[in-house]
Amino acid sequence: MLYIQHPGFLAKASILTGAILLSGCKIGGSGGGDDQPSEQRHYSATIERTTFGIPHITAKDLGGAGYGHGYAIAEDNLCVLADAFVTYSGQRSEYFGPDEAAATMGTFGTPTNLEADFFFRFLLNEQELTTFQAAQADDMLELTAGFAAGYSRYVSEVKDGEHAGRHTDCRNAEWLRTITTDDVLRRLVALNLAASSANWVEEIVAAQPPAANPARVRLMSPATDTSELTADRFALGRKTGIGSNTYAFGGNATESGGGLLFANPHWYLLGVDRFYQLHMNVPGKLNVSGASIMGTPMVLMGFNNDIAWAHTVSTARRFTLYQLQLAEGDPTSYVKDSEVVAMTPTEITIQVKQTDGNLSPVTRTLYRSEYGPMISLSGLGLPGWGTQVAYTLRDANLENTRAFQNFFSWGSADSLDEFYNNTKQYLGIPWVNTTAIGRGDQRALYSDITVVPNVPDSMLASCLVPTLGPAVMNAVPGLPLLDGTRSACDWKTDTDSVQSGTFGPSNLPSLFSTDYVANMNDSYWLSNPEQPLAGYAGIIGREDYEQSLRTRMGHTMVRDRLNGADGLNGHLASSENLRNIVLNSRVYSAERLKTAVLNVVCDAPGSADEEQACQVLANWDNTGNLDAVGAHIWTALWSRIRSLDLYAIPFDAADPINTPDGLSNDSAVRDQITAAFSEAVTDLVNRNIALNARVEQVQQYLKPGEQIPQFGGEGNEGYFTVLRNSYMHIVEFPNGEPVKAYTFLTHSQSTDPSSPHYADYTQAYSNKNWLPFPYTDEDIAANLESSIDISE
């Protein structure tokens, strides 16, 4: 189990469609159907591992590339993947019983096994898989089938007794099995839903008409307040602001005069939603490196010799709610446009392991409206499924079959224009912003051209459900509760929409800049503060609003670099200085407020401990670097005061990076700060945490047998360098030379403690030793640790 130990806590780390043929695109082809590649075919691949166990997979075709990837990732992460394939097939209760949490952490939260089984069997059903598979290009299916075959080959080797000493958590488990293409497709669809239906697992499973028997499966207990109706509750990973920093510099801002890209997702450190670093080379077709999310066969964020890209989680909503008016006397039918419409029932039976080890069937009927799955809001303190009204969810990404073709197409793009055109023509990216640069191109790209329900602001005046609709929007900005009685309130379709009911690219934000673009999980508005984007629908994101401290720190660091005010040489960005800047662990809240806060809390004599804390904070360098002394005191204090009305100067949309600012003169606020300081110091002392401790002494990655110091901190303090960094790359394209990249995978490649690559990359990250990535054949040979050829 991996934990992050932090002065404020010791907790599990939390924080991570339609087929289109693109003209001129090297990856893609006709859709599936009768010509889909067979599961029975020949595969071969060479897997060369370099420093930190990174696999470089070379194959003559995409099936072989997938084959090598599936084998390599199974070697590194077999038990996590095997457990996940049980989850996506809806079989957790069969092997583990009904009541335990289905995941330690991940994009679908922590439902029970039985809840997860019903959810995945309901939404990832055979019809959904058939539709999804039929929409994929042959190349994509070839890669996917190869991945399944490579993974299965490794499983078979383990079951035959090979790889002794490895994978002790699962090698003898009955649930360890080979997989098929369908298993991989289920994984892809599940990831597609990470920012939408995956946040409604309990509500979908609990949705039952009034006459239904609730004894068949655990129902959520009714709540008496709306405390769970929050932006966090229905954000990706159930945490707003999850998911990353990125910079893309254009030629006017770099020493080289070309593009420079930084990717920095803050993503899952545990579970199947972790990143996995790899390099796939199919000569003449694909030569891409970067990160997949475990179980996906392609690189999702990465670079080739001409293009590099990065992602952050977007603020756009991917779903809306609808209120249905039920037909009189029939709670499973509703009235729309004066016509009665029957819901579609689906009966699902789950085999459940009992305490005596025997299996017993549990059956439940779940329902769909024309919009999507029915949901129960009663667990959120809102009306449940009654005799007059009920609620349903429409998820744009349940209708999106293009997502992974879109990602896949980027891996072979050879110019920024091709990359951008693919983005618009597929329009399949499900829930992330994208930044990108291209060889020989002075522009940097920001894009939130993603799958978003087409609900323009003008539609809300007539379609938002009275009273309850505004309450939901107030609690969860950008989430409409719409009137389901009229087709006039169905999602709109633009003239350039790729998917019915979603916005077309002309109504989605994007920006090219020769200076820079950035995103730190606030909306598109300030991708470049000098070129604000505005005029888009509220469901995509907010404008003219206070930015997070992490966002303000991110833009401040760029401003300091371009002004030559950060203590480094020159005034332009380079790979070398950017590698320093993004790990410098500056703390924006301390830079703006520490001096004023110390003037308040240290003005009057306090206890000996408080006087020591004042001295330590006064000498602290306002960073969370490993040798910094005092960062933990500020963390303990800031966690207690950040929700106060702290600022003397309010937010000003005309100066959004510098405001709000200054410490309030309000005596009540200052008294609260003083009390919080005393409480923070007392708490640290009571927990035997030295007030003069260095960051390296109080903040570590804790893995079995490993305790690795961790720099950085929490984004709500204004750290740009956060504790949950995961995959990272800095990429440039030197003139006349191959791509030049530096990378990290902070949690390391393997989840198996017996692997030599369980913690080695984590230690390198702790030491701030970026890996010069070996992209060329010559560099791979110079850094080679092992090589195998596999075939079947």
**Would you state the structure tokens that stand for residue 225, as one six-digit string?**
């307040």
Tens digit of each residue's pLDDT (9 = 90 or more) over 666-725 = 999 999 999 999 999 999 999 999 999 999 999 998 887 789 999 999 999 999 999 989
Token pair of 255 as six digits: 């020493």
Helix (H, G, I), strand (E, B) or coil at 256: coil
Strands (E), 448-567: 481-483, 510-513, 516-519
* Stretch (H or E) spanning 307: strand 307-313
* Residue 233 pLDDT grade (very low, low, confident, very high; cuts 50, 70, 90): confident
Strands 9-12 and 516-519: unpaired
Whether 444 and 516 have beta carbons less than 8 Å apart is answered as: yes
CB neighbours of residue 116 within 10 Å? 27
CA distance 745 to 54: 10
The structure tokens listed for 84 are 């996940």
d(CA 198, CA 503): 22
Does position 16 have pLDDT exceeding 50, yes or no?
no
Could you report the per-residue pLDDT of 472-507, keeping only the tens digit for each? 888 888 899 999 999 999 999 999 999 999 999 999
Tokens of 564: 């030559």
* Residues in Cβ contact with 600 at an 8 Å cutoff, skipping those fewer than 6 apart: 663, 670, 673, 674
Q: Where in 400-509 does DSSP place strands (E)?
A: 432-438, 444-447, 481-483
Q: Quick count: other Cβ atoms within 10 Å of Cβ 102?
A: 25
What is the domain partition of the chain in residue ranges? 588-701
| pLDDT tens for each residue of 257-310 | 999 999 999 999 999 999 999 999 999 999 999 999 999 999 999 999 999 999
The backbone torsions φ and ψ at residue 506, rounded to the nearest 5 degrees and listed phi first, read -70, -20
Q: State how far the Cα of 531 lies from the Cα of 517, in Å rounded to an integer.
A: 9
Residue 231 has pLDDT above 80, yes or no: no
Cα distances from 491 to residues 91, 195, 369, 500, 532, in angstroms, run 35, 18, 15, 8, 27
Measured in degrees and rounded to the nearest 5, phi and psi for residue 201 equal -55, -55
Mean pLDDT across the chain: 92
The mean pLDDT value for 182-208 works out to: 97
Looking at residue 87, its amino acid is T
pLDDT digits (tens, 9 = 90+) for 732-746: 999 999 999 999 999
The closest of 182, 37, 58, 29 to 120, measured between CA atoms, is 182
Q: What is the pLDDT of residue 23?
A: 31
Q: What percent of the chain has pLDDT over 90?
A: 86
**CB neighbours of 231 closer than 8 A, spacing ≥ 6?**
240, 475, 476, 477
Question: Is residue 57 within 8 Å of 281, Cβ to Cβ?
Answer: yes
CATH T-level topology, domain 588-701: 1.10.1400
Identity of the amino acid at 577: N
What residues are labeled active site? 244
> Does the bond joining 660 to the residue before it have cis omega, within 30 degrees of 0?
yes
At how many degrees (to 10) do helices 113-123 and 181-192 cross? 100
Q: Determine contact, residues 267/275, Cβ cutoff 8 Å.
A: yes
pLDDT band at 105 (very low <50, low <70, confident <90, very high): confident
User: pLDDT class for 234, splitting at 50, 70, 90?
Assistant: confident
Residue of 265, 308, 315 whose CA lies nearest to 448: 315
